[in-house]
Amino acid sequence: MPRQEMEAWFTELGEKPFHGRQVMRWMHQRGVDDFNAMTDIAKSLRGRLAEQATVAVPPILSDRTASDGTRKWLFDVGNGQAIETVFIPEARRGTLCISSQVGCALDCSFCATGAQGFNRNLTAAEIVAQVFHATRTLDGGDTGRRAVTNVVFMGMGEPLANYKNVLPALKILQDDYGYGLSRRRVTVSTSGLVPLIDKLSKDVNVALAVSLHAPEDSLRDELVPINKRHPIRALLEACWRYARTTNAKSITFEYTLIDGVNDSPAHARGLAALMRNRPAKVNLIPFNPFPGTAYLRSSDKAIKRFNNQLHRLGIRTMVRRTRGDDIDAACGQLAGQVADRTRIRLGRKEFSLVREAS
């Protein structure tokens, strides 16, 4: 529960709302999951809280650390379904990459999560639990050193297709009584649900990353099928609006480089033309293979050429270093355990789930 709801809940219990803030602090800042240990709250109230609520992390099915220090947890979210969370340590920051859905219905052709299909949305509690667990496990305790400095919604799922649960989670991440993360330290990555990009800009202030992957519609239709519903032009207009409304310096555009598919000099020129003189920076992601995919990663030479070309054309760009690929923790490799229900429950009707969400 975000702060407002938490305070309202205490009022409903006939208690002072500030107890809600106390509980938030115990949970999110001190990693406490036992109401009885929340010692600045009256004992009798602690007992009532324990009767009515739980602070719990889904059972952990695996916890692995890659040779480069990247760590990945697999959480059991019930009914044989599991989701993944990845921590990426760097010299000056620690990024936690969290999941928002069990699988994903959007079916991008180059993504392991998409290939798995969709089972269900995560609850706000399941989203926040990933951050709760990682900070509790990794933060430096009394030293005050924070391991998790940034949170990105780049794990499994399309966050904006689970808007109703992602929004409260974002509020908790940014709240001073929650994780206290500033707007630059929380990033929502979307494949481009245009109406919800606009909504997001009104509801919170977070950094936006957009999965572009192609400079023209025919290719993007193939790679990111939601493009048929929200084509590049409409998507980019929403991005520039987002930057204006939220006062953001720039929007990040993710562009996965796939050998012979979207990595030619003509693609780079097309991309540069879209980004020129805009509040944009481009994140180039070397394609990460997963079982069953026919795509290949662009060669190092092609990646360098693409990056240099954008650079020469005046576009801010960087190549994202591949992290944790020896434990399948790199971008696009998160698969968890997903029993696909989109086809069973909704037939093959395109995007019906997304329509529901928006």
* R_g of the chain, CA atoms, integer Å: 21
Binding mask 285-324 for ligand SAH (x = CB under 6 A): x-xx------------------------------------
- What minimum distance in Å lies between the beta carbon of 226 and ligand SF4? 7
- Is 84 one of the catalytic residues? yes
Catalytic, 331? Answer yes
Closest CA relative to residue 100, chosen from 123, 72, 70: 123
Nearest residue (CB) to ligand SF4, 298 versus 309: 298
Judged by CB under 6 A, the chain residues 201 through 220 that form the site for ligand SAH are 211
Contact between 130 and ligand SAH per CB under 6 A: no
CA distance 149 to 185: 7
With beta carbons less than 8 A apart as the criterion, state whether 229 and 146 touch: no
**What span, in angstroms and rounded, lies between the C-alpha atoms of 102 and 350?**
18
| Distance between CA atoms of residues 53 and 19, nearest Å | 14
Nearer to ligand SAH, 1 or 111 (CB): 111
Helix (H, G, I), strand (E, B) or coil at 252: strand
Contact positions toward ligand SF4, by CB under 6 A?
A: 104, 106-108, 111, 113-114, 157-158, 191, 211
CA dihedral of 113, 119, 120, 122, whole degrees rounded to 10:
-50
Q: H helices within 139-253, ranges in order?
A: 163-174, 194-203, 217-223, 232-246
Burial of 340 (0-12, 13-18, 19+ CB in 10 A): middle
Name the closest residue to ligand SAH (Cβ). 332
Among 110, 118, 163, 177, binds ligand SAH (CB under 6 A): 110
Query: Which is the catalytic residue, given 84, 126, 158, 254?
Result: 84
Under rule CB under 6 A, residue 256 binds ligand SAH: yes
**From 237, 254, 331, 356, the catalytic residue:** 331
Q: By CB under 6 A, tell whether 331 contacts ligand SAH.
A: yes
Nearer to ligand SF4, 305 or 320 (CB): 320
Taking CB under 6 A as the criterion, the residue among 121, 162, 189, 342 binding ligand SAH is 189
Closest CA to 165 of 102, 248, 94, 112: 102
CB of 140 to ligand SF4, least distance (A): 32
Residue 262 binds ligand SAH, judged by CB under 6 A: no
Nearer CB in complex with ligand SF4: 130/135: 130
The catalytic residue positions are 84, 331
